[in-house]
Each structure stands twice: as C-alpha cells, then as structure tokens.
C-alpha cells in the first residue's frame, strides 16, 4: 500500500500507471468505521486500483465547529486500509492542499442551500472545493460516498455534472450499528446516556417508514410524528426534519414520488444526521 | 479538422487518442483575429494535438453588457482555423454547456476583485467556470491565453494552481494593429473617428514606458501622466488606470519590481482594455 502526502507525487503515480486500469476513490476525513470500509470494499471490487484519501478539510468547518477536536487516528486508519487491500492512501498535510494565498472555491448554489447548508454556511463550498481538488489530484474513474451524507452526495453529483467531470459518483447505503445508530466518526463524542438519546434519529426514520406503509402521504403529518419523537427527550434537540424530492432536494408537501426524509439533531456536543428514503409505492 | 459540438463527443475523441500525445487548447469566443491566431500557431508548434474552442460564454457577461451583440462569424472562424492546421474545434451550443438547473460555479476571490472585476461583478466567476468546464471536457496539457486579458490570465493561473489542475497555462504577447491598437473582437464596434480615440490606450502605454525609462518610479506620477492623455480627448472615458504587481495584482506605490500598467476605457459602445509591463532598472 503506497502512502502519499504530496499532490505532485500522487499525480506522478496515477499518470505513470496503466491508463486502461480503472481508478476508484473513497474520499474520507479518517477515523474510519465500518461505513467507510463498506465504501472501500465496493471500490476495490469495482476498480483495478483503489485509492483512499484521508484529510480533515479545514474549509468545510465553520468557525464554531469541531475542526480542532475532530477525531483522528492515522495509524489505525492505515492498518485498517492495508488489511482491506487498498492500493494507495493519499493523506496530505493542510499546507500541501492550501497555500497561504489560496483563493479559488467551487460553489454549488442550489442543492446546497437547504438542510445542513442552512445552518452551516460555506460548508458545501468547502466540500465541493476539496472534493474537486482530490478528483484533480487522484483522477478517479469512480468515486464513492456514503448516503448518510445524503445532501453532500447530491451536491457532488451536481458538481460533477455541471463541471463536465468524467467521474461516476456512487452513493452507498448507510451502515448502522446493531442498535440502529448510523455510523459516524462523530458518534465518539456521545456518552452512554447520550447515545441512548441519539437512537431516536433512527427510531424516527422507522416511524416515518411505517406511516408511509400504512398509507400516510401528507409530509406535514409525517414530519409532525417525527418531531414528536424528538420532543419526547430533552437530551436531543432537532435542528431540522425535512422531506425532500430525492434528486432536486425540493420540499415536498405530498408524497407523490420517492422522497428522502432527512433529520439533523444535536445530542450533547455531537451534531448528528440521518436519512431514509420514503417510497409511496 | 474535426468539429465537435457535444461535450461527450469531445471526451470520446480525446480519450480514444494516444495518451502520450500532448494536447494544447486555445479557448476563444470566436470572431478570430491575428491575436487568436498567434495563440493557435504557438499551440500547434508546442503540442501534438491543437484544439480550439469557440464559445460565447453567457455567464461571463453582465446584464447590461454586449452578449447579444457580441460579434460572431463561425464560418470564417472555421476556415481560418482549418488553414492553421488545427486538429479539433469544439463549438458547443449554450444548451450543451448549461442545463436549465446549472448551479455550480468556480470563484477566484482574490485576484478577481480589482481592475475589470470591480466594474464587472461575476465576470471572472463566469470565466473561471467556463474555462474549468472546457479543461474538463478537452483535457489539455497546455492552455494558451492572450496577455491582453492580463487579469484573466493571472486568475486562470491561480485557479489552475489552487484546484490542482495539471495544466500549463501559457500567456502570449499582445498582438497589435499597425497603428498600435491591441487586437480585440470588440474593435469592430469602433467607427473610424472612435478608432482614432482608441489609439490613446496604446499611446498611454508608450508614455508610461518612456517615463519609467527616464527614471520615474512613483506610480502616482505615472498614472497621472496616463490620465492626462485620456483627459485630452472627450470621446474616450477611462474606467481605470492601475499599476499592479504583475503576479499578485496588488497595488504598487513605487516601482521597486516588475509591474503591469493596466487600463480600461470606453470609446463609443466599445469597452477596451490594454496593458504593458513596466520594468524598472
């Protein structure tokens, strides 16, 4: 497994390889869990070369967010990736990616505005910018993202389409702990008690799915039922509960086609998100 | 000479070519003149494949600018390029480049802010976005831009650096008419009388160069002398006269190192720009 820190070295290796070999990329911020590893396994299966990037991207964190405390464990990450048979890990330093006079940003203006974009201004601009940089450095044919960050996945698909990148962006299903909590590096912020409250995110998803199965089609009714679950526990504070068209991310009043229910909530110092598809037959 | 309209067709042709062959790109808005052709000739000389794009990019024009009236002559452009031995022309329709829900933009935030960026908000965002799209579609190893659009050249170099594009951005000298007027598709807006006034742009450059040769180092003194020339003719109206560091585009008070004198002025309905290096020594 090659470990590369400098963009120029990655270029050299990618370009000197056999061009007919497909390259798959899994971009991560490290502190890897089974969710990441599910992306890595799919990437390995579908491509001759599997590249994983590990980079905690400062420009996607807001000034009051958890950039400093975001969990890191490079040694463990590398040993996990080695075991998965990854070909190359790209793990640059911040200074390798952002010069002092860095001044170019990629901004998706439509899908980025609601959901997490509303409370995290600049977040998706930071995400798009780093993902485009990683795409340009590592030149993947396919890139793998988790559906847990559903809005991010749609924003990146849109960026790839709009900027004429010849990259297949592949969303992979949410991986959950046995108790239903969606895997996230930020789950490590949770105390045992908080973790119990955090389970309400998944429970609210199941409730919504059940309502839809029973025939409920009013998005307001479904959202109210979800909010009731959050309101039942003072340790969890909902930031948003939204039902959106699964591609355009436009608000839906009535479930006439496939939608996504997306929620964000805070428990202790952890800001957690989760989502599920709602399919009205 | 292949003429391609669809991005997907260009991809196919570029990717099915011999990867070891270097591809050079000359992005243009058409209505080609000797300035464009000087870029094409250099591109042909330095690369195995020479690609020229012709696209009047709507998103770099402001609402009150000359998008509709911008001169176009595809037939003549193609015959000029054929004669130059160009390998491929990429000439997409607007709808091939911008879908109705297009929403991703590239924004350079530092070098874009002064000079033309001050009076043309969004202009360089439009330029960066289309140039990145063309780069992604046509995958050049080298790209050629005229130094007449000096700020544009620096902005694109910065974008290429910041976004880790493996492309050599090459600036080529301004080509002038016999009387000194910098070649521009917009010169066709000028009546004979207006053209006489437009010559003051170049004349002001020559005056500044002479002052520097004579030992003048105060940027204010030089700019005042340039302004005097413009003030002498009511048919020309200066928009800016600036002396900037030639790389950072920061204002200079004193000519301690190489600088660029950049001017923009209106004559009739034509907004014209010109620039020259000022080299103290």
Q: Which of residues 161-180 of B touch A (CB under 8 A)?
A: 161-166
- The closest of B135, B182, B206, B151 to B38, measured between CA atoms, is B182
Q: What angle do CA B247, B117, B235 make, to 5 degrees?
A: 110
* DSSP label at residue B218: B
User: What pLDDT tens digit does each residue of chain A (281 aa) get?
Assistant: 999 999 999 877 776 667 788 999 999 999 999 999 999 999 999 999 999 999 999 999 999 999 999 999 999 999 999 999 999 999 999 999 999 999 999 999 999 999 999 999 999 999 999 999 999 999 999 999 999 999 999 999 999 999 999 999 999 999 999 999 999 999 999 999 999 999 999 999 999 999 999 999 999 999 999 999 999 999 999 999 999 999 899 999 999 999 999 999 999 999 999 999 999 97
- The span from the CA of A213 to the CA of A225, in Å, is 14
Answer yes or no: do B110 and A101 touch at CB < 8 A.
Answer: yes
Q: How many beta-carbon contacts under 8 Å exist across A and B?
A: 79
pLDDT at A13: 75
pLDDT tier at B232, thresholds 50, 70, 90 = very high
Q: Which of B11, B102, B165 sits opposite A166 (nearest CB)?
A: B11
Question: What CATH number was assigned to the domain covering residues A185-278?
Answer: 3.30.1300.10
C-alpha Rg value of chain A to the nearest Å: 19
The pair of three-digit structure tokens given for residue A226, joined into one six-digit string: 């979800």
Q: What pLDDT, on the 0 to 100 scale, is given for residue A231?
A: 97
Report the CATH superfamily, name and number, of domain A2-172. HUPs (3.40.50.620)
What tokens were used for B262? Answer: 């950049």
Domain locations in chain A?
2-172, 185-278
* Measured distance CA(B213)–CA(B277) in Å, rounded: 12
| Residue contact A163–B110, C-beta within 8 A | no
| pLDDT for the residue B11 | 77
B136 interaction partners in chain A (CB closer than 8 Å): 163-166
CA dist A137 and A131 (Å) reads: 10
* Angle, helices B7-16/B123-138, rounded to nearest 10 degrees: 40
pLDDT at B118 over 80: yes
Q: How far apart are CA B159 and CA B280, in angstroms?
A: 29
For B158, the closest of A104, A132, A158 (CB atoms) is A104
A132 touches B at CB < 8 Å: yes
**DSSP labels for B6-74?**
-HHHHHHHHHHS-TTS-EEEEEE-SS--HHHHHHHHHHHHH-SEEEEEE---GGGS-TTSSTTTS---H
Assigned fold of B185-275: 3.30.1300
**Bridging pattern class, strands A49-54 and A88-90:** parallel
Residue B12: the pLDDT is 73
Cα–Cα distances (Å) from B250 to A117, A134, B7, B99, B257, in that order, read 33, 30, 37, 37, 12
Closest CA to B238 of B225, B219, B255: B225
The per-residue pLDDT for A251 is 95
Order of strands, sheet of B168-172, starting from the edge strand that comes earlier in the sequence: B2-4, B88-90, B49-54, B23-28, B142-146, B168-172
Average per-residue pLDDT for chain B: 96
Picking from B10-19, B117-126, B177-186, which range would have the lowest pLDDT averaged per residue?
B10-19
Q: State the complex-level ipTM.
A: 0.95
What are phi and psi for residue B264, nearest 5 degrees?
A: -130, 140
Distance from C-alpha of B143 to C-alpha of A13, rounded to nearest angstrom: 23
**Radius of gyration over every alpha carbon of chain B, rounded to an integer in angstroms:** 19
Q: What is the pTM of this model?
A: 0.96
Non-local (6+) Cβ contacts of B138 within 8 A are: B10, B14, B23, B25, B51, B53, B90
For residues B62, B63, B66 and B69, what is the CA-based torsion angle, rounded to 10 degrees?
Answer: 140
d(CA A165, CA A159): 8
B70 and chain A: CB distance < 8 Å anywhere? Answer: no
Is the predicted pLDDT of residue B221 greater than 80, yes or no? yes
Residues of A in contact with B110 (CB under 8 A): 101, 103
Cα–Cα dist B121/A17, whole Å: 43
Cα torsion A102, A104, A108, A114: sign? positive
Residue A8 sits at the chain B interface (C-beta within 8 Å): no
Compare CB distances from A104 to B7, B136, B159 and report the shortest one's residue.
B159
Using a CB-CB cut-off of 8 Å, the residues of chain B touching A132 are 163
Distance CA A227, CA A206 (A): 13
A55 near B CB under 8 A: no
Per-residue pLDDT band for B15 (boundaries 50, 70, 90) equals: low
Q: Which residues of chain A are within 8 Å of residue B159 when distances are taken between CB atoms?
A: 104
| Higher-pLDDT residue of B16, B45 | B45
| B218 shares contact with chain A (CB less than 8 Å) | no
pLDDT of residue B281: 79
Q: Is B108 on the interface with A (CB under 8 A)?
A: yes
Residues of A tagged active-site: 36
Is the Cβ of B99 closer than 8 Å to some Cβ of chain A? yes
Q: Look-up: residue for tokens 């080695």?
A: A82
Q: Is B126 helix (H, G, I), strand (E, B) or coil?
A: helix
pLDDT tens column, B132-186: 999 999 999 999 999 999 999 999 999 999 999 999 999 999 999 999 999 999 9
């Amino acid at each position: 497994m090659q470990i590369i820190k400098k963009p120029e070295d990655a270029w050299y290796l990618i370009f000197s390889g056999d061009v007919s070999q497909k390259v798959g990329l899994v971009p991560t911020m490290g502190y890897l869990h089974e969710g990441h590893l599910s992306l890595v396994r799919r990437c390995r299966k579908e491509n001759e070369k599997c590249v994983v990037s590990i980079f905690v991207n400062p420009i996607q964190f807001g000034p009051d967010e958890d950039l400093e405390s975001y969990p890191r464990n490079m040694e463990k990450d590398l040993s996990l990736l080695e075991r998965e048979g990854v070909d190359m890990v790209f793990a640059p330093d911040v200074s390798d990616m952002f010069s002092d006079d860095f001044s170019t940003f990629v901004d998706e203006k439509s899908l980025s505005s609601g959901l997490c974009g509303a409370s995290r201004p600049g977040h998706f601009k930071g995400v798009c910018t780093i993902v485009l940089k990683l795409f340009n450095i590592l030149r993947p044919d396919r890139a793998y993202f988790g559906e847990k960050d559903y809005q991010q996945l749609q924003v990146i698909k849109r960026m790839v389409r709009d900027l004429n990148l010849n990259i297949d962006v592949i969303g992979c299903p949410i991986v959950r702990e046995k108790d239903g909590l969606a895997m996230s590096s930020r789950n490590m912020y949770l105390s045992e008690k908080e973790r119990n409250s955090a389970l309400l995110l998944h429970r609210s998803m199941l409730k919504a799915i059940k309502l839809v199965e029973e025939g409920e089609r009013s998005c307001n009714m479904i959202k109210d039922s979800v909010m009731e679950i959050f309101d039942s526990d003072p340790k969890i504070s909902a930031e948003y509960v939204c039902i959106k068209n699964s591609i355009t991310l436009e608000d839906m009043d009535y479930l006439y086609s496939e939608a996504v229910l997306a929620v964000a909530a805070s428990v202790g110092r952890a800001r957690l998100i989760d989502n599920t598809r709602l399919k009205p037959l």
